[in-house]
Structure 1
């Protein structure tokens, strides 16, 4: 009897391991054939942060064995390049660009028209490739782009993931472009809910952004993934100011330098920064602004009118200079204007952490930045309009450089364990793999007959 039982046990074990091997082979086969099509209006040579991040993400996903296709537009924010190749091919990465170019990218109406034209081009591109089995990942650049994923799923059963950078139409109401009760806002919100409900996955960039979405549609909670942006610590490394050519070239070596790098737009708090500059105008502390944005022009005008001498304004720098510009300071600023928490996310934070510089964040009391800075030990958050406290913190670091160095080191350590491209790419991979194994298995043409060994156990 014991011998018979042992024979059956060995047979069951053999069938179990055989079934496990078949299952692993099926998973590996699907992953190796897994294709993702990413739609985004901005992509290098544009210097827009969204495009730069998508390029890095696509590269890392391709390194994981995925075939990545990117459909994007012609440069709208490039330094000296108005046209880019219509098609570019790399290992497991294909980039296709539409013929749409920018239309007055500095104005709201021009941006909106460019976005609409890009969406039309994207729709035509999808119609030509409707039969493919790619999973679609649609960014909110432009804001209404995810709607074509909804249509593709409705008409062709194409599965899609929404990658939300900024939350519209909420931003338009926060900017007082439209009131909350405006018909366009109501229609846009209703379309968003349909798009999100039908999506196989939703990715947002901060916990507070997820809270915003769940407050609107609680049923979406389980399909929303919070995945932060990132920076590459192997590319951006701490460089002492005395060894940094950028700091030497722009006179940033001999004074305590506070840096604001990136877009200073309507969703950012420039007012608190200006008040802080005024408070520190007679001290050996200077402020450097690198980048652009609607509020940068206001800052330049205000500084000129007040005759302030402690500010330097520089344009966007080439990407190759970023490791030097981010490390040419002693402290970096991040800001979100009142009412915009969870609507936008400052991607500049992650480059600051990689650079090993402390962070001063200007934000609301419920901002996710407060907890992040506290846990990482890399900086301090200040309430909007609290320029007195911010000025005092800057004075403290100027007098205690070892404290600034310790905060910067802690921030880089935290980034290396939480926000590297490799770590973040794995999180995207998990979301995309979750799409491939959704409940509707027929959509993925899985050959379930290969699992015959599993049936023999029943």
Structure 2
């Protein structure tokens, strides 16, 4: 067993973050990690990020191998891009990144106090388990998407498949050795507690965020993105971000079909496995009210996110508790109402209800979503009021400073350091974990 030397208690905590995606990659998880790493490096942390070259969605295929920004250092390994839009290709690329990360951990373990390992790729936290057992490195698991459960819900794996059973057993081992597990929503925590037997007190709920100083509400009349695409002349419904298998876009397309004769435009900004499906449905339905655009550079997001009158966030049926869409927080910052398509028990429904910034609709409820859009079209004052309420809610709960402080508290506690927590606004509404036996059918 290797042991870390203990340095002065006043010294910075040496934090290692390992994640496959990081800017200039467009992946939302990577962009959030970048903002988090910068904020933590401005606190009591010396942060080192080990990541890959752009490999998910990008306009720049390569980035510097090494970067140093004050107390933040970034090291990028080579990355493979085998069939990056297909499940098997993503799995292979993730596995190859993990192999490179193994070598990095072996070299870096003695020089860090604690590591944060993301589930990008899903099996990356396994490295933390072995680093803890063999090298003595403490680690925290940051869970974005809960595998193999997502793969089972998508039909990629069968519930009783040997690989599924092994993967779940590994999750229990990995989470059991972790100092803490960070999840993005209360329903993800509930799922882990109920299905994996991990005590709730070992799971911290920390939401994603958006910087309200970067995404600022602006009228479409003063928005070049809206004007370039003719969105300043019509009521616009925006879906921005990952158009993947876990997101219900079929309900959105069915709603667009219902409203094909109304003065409303549906704009899709992003990419993913369902993008081609949506484009095919638009062609099959003969829709002229749909516009498909690629991912936008980060500096253009303040304009693309505000080039609408209503934002959409969705989860496919059965995905609640397995992942949390990060696109929600940009929608709130943009000062636009939000329509969420989700299960009735979703934390998304709780959030928009608490914030009074939109409405929630169950998957398949095209009539309800269409009626909400028509209501907003007829009542522009409601658009303004809901949008402002959502932004105010974000400013009180989901800014980079607020969220970074939550992370700092968890990391310090996990590293065995004490710190005086800063005063924070009240937390977002959370559902309490309830054992399966206590739930009603």
**What TM-score, normalized to structure 1?**
0.88
Cα 1:202/1:399, change in 2 over 3 Å: same
Structure 2 counterpart SS, 1:30: coil
Q: Find the counterpart in structure 2 of residue 295 from structure 1.
A: 274
Are residue 411 (structure 1) and residue 390 (structure 2) matched? Answer: yes
> How far apart in 2 are the matches of 1:396 and 1:133?
55
Aligned length: 413
Q: Find the counterpart in structure 2 of residue 343 from structure 1.
A: 322
Equivalent in 284, 302, 307 of residue 263 of structure 2: 284
Q: Find the counterpart in structure 1 of residue 155 from structure 2.
A: 176
Are residue 50 (structure 1) and residue 32 (structure 2) matched? Answer: no
Q: Find the counterpart in structure 2 of residue 7 from structure 1.
A: none
Alignment of 1:10-409 (within 5 A): 30=9, 32-409=11-388
**CA-to-partner distance for each residue in 1:135-169, whole Å, 9 max, x for gaps?**
01000000000000000000011100000000000
Structure 1 counterpart SS, 2:231: coil
> Is the contact made by 1:197 and 1:220 (CA closer than 8 Å) also made in structure 2?
no
1:109, distance to aligned residue in structure 2 (A): 1.3
Are residue 432 (structure 1) and residue 411 (structure 2) matched? Answer: yes
Structure 2 counterpart SS, 1:131: helix
Q: Find the counterpart in structure 2 of residue 13 from structure 1.
A: none
1:102, distance to aligned residue in structure 2 (A): 2.1
Greater CA deviation, 106-115 or 162-171?
A: 106-115
1:220, distance to aligned residue in structure 2 (A): 2.7
1:218, distance to aligned residue in structure 2 (A): 3.1
Structure 2 counterpart SS, 1:129: helix
> How far apart in 2 are the matches of 1:210 and 1:331?
29
> How far apart in 2 are the matches of 1:29 and 1:257?
56
More helix, by proportion: 1
> Is the contact made by 2:314 and 2:342 (CA closer than 8 Å) also made in structure 1?
yes
> How far apart in 2 are the matches of 1:292 and 1:80?
13
1:178, distance to aligned residue in structure 2 (A): 1.1
**CA-to-partner distance for each residue in 1:41-96, whole Å, 9 max, x for gaps?**
00001000010000000000011131000000111135332221111111100101
> How far apart in 2 are the matches of 1:321 and 1:211?
36
Q: Give the greater-gyration-radius structure (CA).
A: 1
> How far apart in 1 are the matches of 2:95 and 2:245?
21
1:252, distance to aligned residue in structure 2 (A): 0.2
1:268, distance to aligned residue in structure 2 (A): 0.6
> How far apart in 2 are the matches of 1:413 and 1:129?
42
> How far apart in 1 are the matches of 2:221 and 2:173?
55
> Is the contact made by 1:230 and 1:351 (CA closer than 8 Å) also made in structure 2?
yes
**CA-to-partner distance for each residue in 1:6-59, whole Å, 9 max, x for gaps?**
xxxxxxxxxxxxxxxxxxxxxx95363211000000000100001000000000
Structure 2 counterpart SS, 1:339: coil
Gaps of 5+ in 1: 1-27, 440-458
> How far apart in 1 are the matches of 2:63 and 2:256?
40
1:382, distance to aligned residue in structure 2 (A): 0.5
Gaps of 5+ in 2: 1-6, 419-441
Structure 2 counterpart SS, 1:425: helix
Structure 1 counterpart SS, 2:242: coil
1:106, distance to aligned residue in structure 2 (A): 1.0
Structure 2 counterpart SS, 1:136: strand
> How far apart in 1 are the matches of 2:361 and 2:94?
35
> How far apart in 1 are the matches of 2:260 and 2:321?
33
Structure 1 counterpart SS, 2:115: strand
> Is the contact made by 1:266 and 1:294 (CA closer than 8 Å) also made in structure 2?
yes
Structure 2 counterpart SS, 1:84: coil
> Is the contact made by 2:38 and 2:72 (CA closer than 8 Å) also made in structure 1?
yes
> How far apart in 2 are the matches of 1:395 and 1:31?
58
Greater CA deviation, 119-128 or 129-138?
A: 129-138
> How far apart in 2 are the matches of 1:34 and 1:71?
17
Cα 1:120/1:68, change in 2 over 3 Å: same
> How far apart in 1 are the matches of 2:75 and 2:298?
22
> How far apart in 1 are the matches of 2:297 and 2:417?
42
**CA-to-partner distance for each residue in 1:329-381, whole Å, 9 max, x for gaps?**
00000000000001111100000100000000000010001110011010000
> How far apart in 2 are the matches of 1:167 and 1:391?
32
